[in-house]
Every structure is written in structure tokens, then in C-alpha cells.
Amino acid sequence: MTRSFWQHRSRPPALTCDVAIVGAGIAGASAAFWLRKARPDWTVALLDAVEPGYGASGRNAGFLLQGIATDYVTDIARYGRATAQQLWHFTLENRELLEKELDPTAFNLQRTGSLIVAGTAAEDERLQRSVAPLRADGVPVAYLPPQEVSSRAQAGGLFGALNVPSGATCDPLKLVRHIIAQSKATVCPHHRVIDLMPQNGSVHLITPHRTVAAGQVLVTTNAAPVPGLVRPQGAIRPVRAQMLATVPLASRVLSCPVYSHEGNYYLRQLSGGEVLVGGARHQHAAAEVGFADETTPPVQEALEAYLHRHFPWAAGVRVQRRWSGTMGFTADRLPIIGSVPDAPGSYWAGGFHGHGMGLAFRFGRLLAALMASDDRPDGASLFRADRPALTAASATVTESAPRS
């Protein structure tokens, strides 16, 4: 690629900062916010290949849910009781911090509660068994039988559900923008990093527009590669999610978000009457891997079929928009934090497995604490890159160019 004399001369000057964050989604924005609180004298630059919230952080349903799996007994079986409890309260603290540290009206945070709805008899049984350990661990959930679920969601053909009072919703794109505004970070949109080079105690980030020199770097691009960054191949896999939005309904049919069929379907109704529906990738898992930003007829048809199968009010409702977004998945469904080689105090992080809104603000505080302190903050061990579930990953590689 060439650049004219005029284009070269108009390049902005090189930027020097204490911390450069690559990726202006919910995780990067949150880290910038908490860095300002921990180190108000530090300068922070927030770089994005397109613009803040352009990726999955601005393309999701805006759920603020608790826990990692859809039922607590699965979390316990997968991680152990102590870790399951820690993860649940981590996500609860995430929502509480959003209310405490920010202006909830700026991003339409609503304490709606949430319904975790079973799609099969086996899932229903796990939800029922989750009630006792959740209550013992300080979570006031309740099991709702199928008839009550049908009444609350004006639905049919569903099993029972967990009613989680602490669940909430928000406008995810407004949330990202609000966090960034409060962070006071220097925002650099359209700054795609084409090389990352640790040198002489700092890190140089080469972009098409200018070079950014930082004392420390944090990469929060999820599965998207950053040339020059070394991390385990396949540590974070790109998985596409698809959604649709209906035209506004004349009446209120959903009072809270519904997360059903082990999280493979999810929907909520906005204050304007529109219903957002997402999921169905489990039916086309192989096709939904990668970075392609496009919707596909099989998944979109499956979303509409789910609506029509379980929600009579959806009959004849027109779809006004369809979209997709790329999430980051890890082998054990937990986010991951790794060190940037040859750059002390620098990290890469991501892999929220579709739970970014429920984790990332609290996760950003953890990342900021790692970068701003010599101490290992509470919770860091949960997400370390060398945890046993991830050590079987492929060999370490240096990333070179974005995939498509």
C-alpha cells in the first residue's frame, strides 16, 4: 500500500502514553476506566481498528446475567463448588459496580431480574437441583414451574425456570461509550495495529496512521489477532452469534430477559416494544466459527422458528433488522489473561464465552489492578493463561494478519 506526499504529511504525530489499550470494547473500556481510578496521573490511549463498541460489545442483547453456565450444578461439576460460588458473585459484583461507579440512566440499566428457562426435561431437573446450593451460597433464586413460566413469558412448550432477581439489562453500546467517556482515555478510532514491538522498556504499536509508544500495553481484541503479539494458538476461538430485532409490538409481552435451552436461545423486549432474539448457533456450530460479519438463512430461520414455536404473540410479527457479531470462546468457558512476552506489566485478555456484559466491567478492574500494582489481585488466578484446562492448547505462535 502506498501513501501520497499529502497523506504522509497529514499524519498525526506519534503518540506517547503510559498505557495503550488495543480494542475499545467493553473489556478495554472497563480497564481504561479502572486505570484512571487507580492511577489518575497515567495517560491511557484506547485504540480500535474501527470504533468503540464496533465488535461484539455493541452487537449483543444487553443481558447482565449471573453465573457462567445456565445452571449452578453444571458450574459446580465443571469448576468445583468454591470456584462456582466465586464466579457467580464475580458476575453479581459486575452488575453492582455498574450501578455504583457509573450513571445507570446513561445506558438504560434496568433491574428486571431474569428467567433461566429449561428447554428439556434434563435441563429442568438441573435447574431444580441448582436452587438449594445457590440459596446456601447467598443467592435468593426461586424455581418456577412450567405453567408459571408460560404465564410470565406468554409462552408455550417450555419447561420450568429459575427466577434470578439480580438479573438486569442495559443498552450495551451506550454502556461502552459511557465507560469510555468516564475513563478520560485518549480514543484513537481506525487505528488498526499492524505490528506490536517491545523495545527498550516500552512497546511500540504501529498503525496506518501513526506510531503509539506505551510503557505498558493491554490487548483486548478477543480472538482477533494483533500482529506481533505472541499467545497460544487457539487460546481464544472466534465464534459468531446472530440476532434479529422485530418491529415494535403493541403490548408488553416480556417483563424480563429470557435465557433458554442452555443459553442457546435468548430474547428480551425493549421499552419501545421491539423484541431482540439471538442464538441458534448450536444447530450450525461448524459454520458459526470465524470472523465473517454476516447473517445466514439457516440460523436466522432457526431464530424465527424458535419464536413461533414457543411464543404465540410472535405470529405475523415482522423482522426489522438482522445482524451478527464475533465472540471469543475458550476451552473451559472462562476468560483468559496472558502476559505479553518481553513487555513487563503488559497483558492480553479476552474469551468471555458470550458473557461479556456480565463479566467485563469487574474484569476490567482486575486487569487495571494487574497493570497498576505489583500485587496479584483477588480473582486473577481464576483466569490465568496457564490454568490446567488450557495447557493442552496448541503451540505458541506470533500473529501476523487478521483472518476473515
pLDDT in tens, 22-76: 999 999 999 999 999 999 999 999 999 999 999 999 999 999 999 887 799 999 9
Grid cell for residue 95:
452488575
Rounded to whole angstroms, the Cα distance separating 176 from 44 reads 16
Rounded to whole angstroms, the Cα distance separating 161 from 61 reads 20
Cβ-contact 261, 119 below 8 angstroms? yes
Grid cell for residue 370:
494487574
pLDDT at residue 270 is higher than 60: yes
Longest dimension (CA), the chain: 71
Question: pLDDT tens digit string along 146-202?
Answer: 999 999 999 999 999 999 999 999 999 999 999 999 999 999 999 999 999 999 889
pLDDT above 90: percentage of residues in the chain: 85
Burial of 122 from C-beta contacts in 10 A (0-12 / 13-18 / 19+): exposed
Measured CA to CA in angstroms, residue 251 lies from 153, 157, 170, 210 at distances of: 13, 22, 20, 51
84: part of which helix (H) or strand (E)? helix 81-101
Rounded to whole angstroms, the Cα distance separating 314 from 304 reads 9
Rounded to whole angstroms, the Cα distance separating 216 from 202 reads 7
Rounded to whole angstroms, the Cα distance separating 124 from 134 reads 15
Two domains, one topology: 15-58+174-236+332-394 and 237-329: no
Rounded to whole angstroms, the Cα distance separating 322 from 345 reads 41
Average pLDDT over residues 252-273: 95
Dihedral sign of CA atoms 380, 349, 176, 22 in order: positive
Angle between helices 26-38 and 172-183 (to 10 degrees): 30
Enumerate the domain spans of the chain. Answer: 15-58+174-236+332-394, 237-329
Of 51-55, 87-91, 101-105, 375-379, which gets the smallest average pLDDT?
Answer: 375-379
Q: What is the pLDDT of residue 374?
A: 72
What is the pLDDT confidence band of residue 379, given thresholds at 50, 70 and 90?
confident
Beta strand 347-350 pairing with 237-246? unpaired
3-state secondary structure of 201: coil
Q: What is the pLDDT of residue 402?
A: 37
Cβ-contact 266, 257 below 8 angstroms? yes
CB atoms within 10 A of CB 46: 26
May I ask the CATH class of domain 15-58+174-236+332-394?
Answer: alpha beta
Alpha helices by DSSP H, 193-333: 297-310
What single-letter DSSP state applies at residue 237?
Answer: E
Cα dihedral: 181, 184, 185, 188 (round 10): 50
The fold for domain 237-329 equals D-Amino Acid Oxidase; Chain A, domain 2 (3.30.9)
Q: What is the pLDDT of residue 395?
A: 42
Cβ-contact 281, 239 below 8 angstroms? yes
